[in-house]
Amino acid sequence: MTKVISRRAICFSTAVLTLAAAIPNFAGTAYAAGETIKLGLVAPMSGPNARYGSFSMRGAQLAVKEINDAGGVDGRKIELVSGDSQGTPVEGVSATRRLIDSDKVDFIIGDVSSSVTLAMQPVAEDAGILLLNAASSNPKITYGAGVGGYKWTFRNYPTDENRALIVAKYAAEQRGFTKFSVLSVDSDYGRSAIEFTKKYLPQYKGQILTEDYYKEGEVDFRSVLAKIRDSGAQAIILYGLADTTPIIARQMTEVGLAGKVPVIGNGEFNTPSTIKAAPRALEGAVEAAAWLPAWDAPKSKAFVDKFTAANKEGPNNHAYVHWETVHLLAQAIKEAGSPDREKVREALSKIKYDSAVGEVTFDDHNQARLPMILLQIEGGKPSIKGAFTAEIQYPAK
Amino acid sequence: MFSTLAEQIINGIVTGSVYAIVAVGMTMIFGVLRAINFAHGEYYMLGTFGAWFAIDYLELSYEASIVVGILATIVIAYVVGRLVMQRMVGAPAEAGVLATLGIALILQNTVILVFGGGYKFFSGGYIEPVSVLGFTLAQQRMLILVVCLLVFIGLELMVTYSRMGKSMRAVSQNIECCEVVGIDVPQVVLRTFILGAALAALSGVLTAPVNVNVYGGMGELITFKTLPIIIMGGLGNVRGTFFAAMLLGIAESLVATYIGLQFRDTVGFVTLILTLMWRPYGLFSTEARF
């Protein structure tokens, strides 16, 4: 038995199909109720920064689950799509393009590395996709955002400028250090933190005796640590990667710096496994972080408990900031009344969001006003010395 | 001043020992196969992962984990050797490059798929510092130094006196003649390959306690560091590799101290370029071998 398909039938069905395919385009950005909201997450899921990506992903996943379990944002579920930046700008840009072009995401959160975020900004801008950064600290990201240029970039994370200032101030005033050695990661994060440290150190009569930057993945610090030991520095300014901190700390013990010269800066000095790797080297370490698990606020404690229950290990800073940022975005979508990108952007610039470290508002450079938390390792545990917010002085254009 | 210099040279020798154990395997494989094994760093990674697995999952001691790491690598190297390396005898150079690069990708990504891309914390080893001649070193580094010397003495003796060493040298000189006099070339290739991979694994397991982190991509950096060493040492030359590794280790250490840590990784490539320009047959041989 054969079925004859007439030419007319083909013409007709083609016309119908074309029309059907065209309808979503006619509809444009008018979202149907109940449709999912696609949220892209660009993070280093492999490579030397994979630890950050893994925590970021799990933080974001937890927030998405919480939102969806509570019925979504005005009835719309959030779908999380992951893009691997490998911590390098080239891969970060490809991942961003893939999320925009093939996954058709509505919003992007990313990346952790400042170098990658800086490269993603123009891509998001061209596509008119909201890029909400949750974990990069280089000040240039928001120097160039909002009234500074990129309309679609927002950052919900404090900057290196704030961080460098409070670390330098604490080291000088509370610890009485004047001679420093620099050992930071060779990236936009490590270098900008030192740039701003140099801006503020003279105010506290501090001087830098040696200055070295390590490549991501470096494992041998004995030579440079011996040089620092012989230079007579009182503290090592370390803006590094969390995974490298235990290596540096162990080798500090090896060359005889442990217990004599503390590290100050940032690089997850307060993580229990890091302290366990070299307790003597990290005693007295000073760190400025956006958040830490020991932060004493009910919302923060509840997050730590929930994350630990779901993952069999405690969260880090990146898990927290991504969890919080997904909730922030959800609130912005809710206040906008629809996932329309223009409206969400408007809502975000006016938002008053109640985060675990205080109320979040954005300035005219789309930069969140957020505190840095200062802590010191005492008796093998982080002891919080306070939270400091600084209004950013943008360079005159 | 003098003690700083002496200390940095010792640091360089320790670093060089790690490179030397990895590089010597790579250079021997080159000797018999005439192919650079771009997957060599992956066996370093596999050894370390095996040991980490033994400590974290099987709760074995560090000493036992060394054995587990090396045995696991030998099994994988046997499979790769049978399936891939033996077919490369007499194959054109491009075949070797493609095959070994492919193996590197497969091994690396399999490990990432199975264990995840994140860094693992290696908890075994002897990391307590000891004082030697006024310098402090972790015990583990002393161990690396001693093992490196033993490995090279053993290899010298093997290459010079044992039947396997002699057949390895024969294969590296002339494959056709070996076949004529009854040397089983594929067998020699397989054995050399397994020996080289096992040495890379040994180096990985010994270094893990001081490098702390274990992750899927860790072999890549090692491959790139060993490449200049085997070329400087004269491809296929065991003794040359030892001295080239020490030279690179010391040079890196001095650059990190007196110029800056960020320039450390350039040392290997600069020396590679210089060697290729002026002594493409290596620093320690008087003439080109082929």
Task: Say if residues A248 and A238 touch (Cβ distance below 8 Å).
Answer: yes
Query: At A249, phi and psi to the nearest 5?
Result: -65, -40
The two counts, helices (H) then strands (E), for chain B are 11, 4
% of chain A exceeding 90 in pLDDT: 67
Residue B24 lies in a domain: yes
For residues B150 and B152, give the distance between their C-alpha atoms in angstroms, rounded to a whole number: 5
Name the domain count of chain B.
Answer: 1
Sign of CA dihedral B24, B25, B29, B34: negative
Q: Which residues contact B98 (CB under 8 A, 6 or more apart)?
A: none
Q: Where are the domains of chain A?
A: 37-158+295-370, 161-289
Q: What is the DSSP letter of A31?
A: P
Q: What is the ipTM of this complex?
A: 0.82
Question: Do B117 and A45 count as a contact with CB atoms less than 8 A apart?
Answer: yes
Cα distance from N-terminal residue to C-terminal residue, chain B: 45
Cα separations (Å) of B102 from A26, B40, B54, B95?
Answer: 47, 12, 27, 10
pLDDT tops 50 at residue A30: no
Question: How far is it, in rounded angstroms, from Cα A80 to Cα A73?
Answer: 14
pLDDT per residue as tens digits for the range A157-201:
999 988 999 999 999 999 999 999 999 999 989 999 999 999 889
Of B212, B216, B257, the CB nearest to A227: B257
One-letter amino acid of A175: R
CA distances to B178, B223, B274, B281 from B30, rounded to whole Å, are 17, 14, 21, 14
Say which amino acid occupies A355.
Answer: S
Domain residues for B153?
2-278
- Lowest mean pLDDT: which of A256-260, A392-396, B241-245? A392-396
CATH of the domain at B21: 1.10.3470
The architecture in CATH of the region A37-158+295-370 reads: 3-Layer(aba) Sandwich (3.40)
B121–A277: do the CB atoms touch at under 8 Å?
A: yes
Q: Are A229 and A253 in contact (CB under 8 A)?
A: no
Chain B nearest C-alpha distance from A162 (Å):
26
Q: Would the CB atoms of A217 and B119 count as touching at under 8 Å? A: no
- Cβ distance B212 to A255 less than 8 Å, yes or no, reads no
Q: Is the Cβ–Cβ distance between B219 and B266 less than 8 Å? A: no
Q: What is the reported pLDDT for B220?
A: 86
Structure tokens at A42: 């660009």
- Whether B288 maps to a domain, the answer reads no
Using beta carbons and an 8 Å cutoff, which residues of A are at the interface with B?
45-48, 50-51, 53-54, 183, 186, 211-215, 217-224, 226-227, 230, 243, 246-247, 250-251, 253-256, 273, 277
pLDDT number for residue B134: 73
Indicate the pLDDT class of residue A32, thresholds 50, 70 and 90. low
Question: How many degrees, rounded to 5, is the angle at CA A217 between CA B206 and CA B11?
Answer: 50
CA angle B52, B200, B59 (to 5 degrees): 15
Q: How high is the pLDDT of residue A94? A: 96
Distance from CA of A231 to the nearest CA of B (A): 11
Query: Dmax of chain A from CA atoms?
Result: 95
User: What residues in A contact B260, CB-CB < 8 Å?
Assistant: 211-213
- Taking an 8 Å cut-off on Cβ atoms, the answer to whether B260 and A214 are in contact is no
Give yes or no on whether A37-158+295-370 and A161-289 have one common fold: yes
Map tokens 């217990």 to a residue: A259
* B289 in any annotated domain: no
* Contact flag A223-B256 (C-beta cutoff 8 Å): yes
């250490």: which residue's tokens? B253
Instruction: Please name which of A219, A13, A153, A79 lies closest in space to residue B11, comparing C-alpha atoms.
Output: A219
- Laid out side by side, the sheet with A107-110 consists of A78-84, A37-43, A107-110, A130-133, A153-155
Q: Report the run of H or E that residue A66 belongs to, with start and end.
A: helix A50-69
Q: Is the model's pLDDT at B256 over the cut of 80? A: yes
Pick the CATH number of A161-289 from 1.10.10.10, 3.40.50.300, 3.40.50.150, 3.40.50.2300: 3.40.50.2300
**Within 13 Å of residue A371, how many CA atoms lie on the same side as its CB?**
17
From the list A48, A230, A256, which residue is nearest B4 (CB)?
Answer: A230
- Does A256 contact B213 at a Cβ distance shorter than 8 Å? no
Residue range A86-110, pLDDT digits in tens: 989 999 999 999 999 999 999 999 8
- How many other CB atoms sit within 10 Å of the CB of residue B162? 11
For residue B145, being part of any structural domain is answered with: yes
pLDDT tens for B88-105 read 888 888 898 999 999 999
Give the Cα-Cα-Cα angle B230, B235, B239 (nearest 5 degrees).
75
Burial environment of residue A26 by CB neighbours within 10 A (0 to 12, 13 to 18, 19 or more): exposed
Domain assignment present for B106: yes
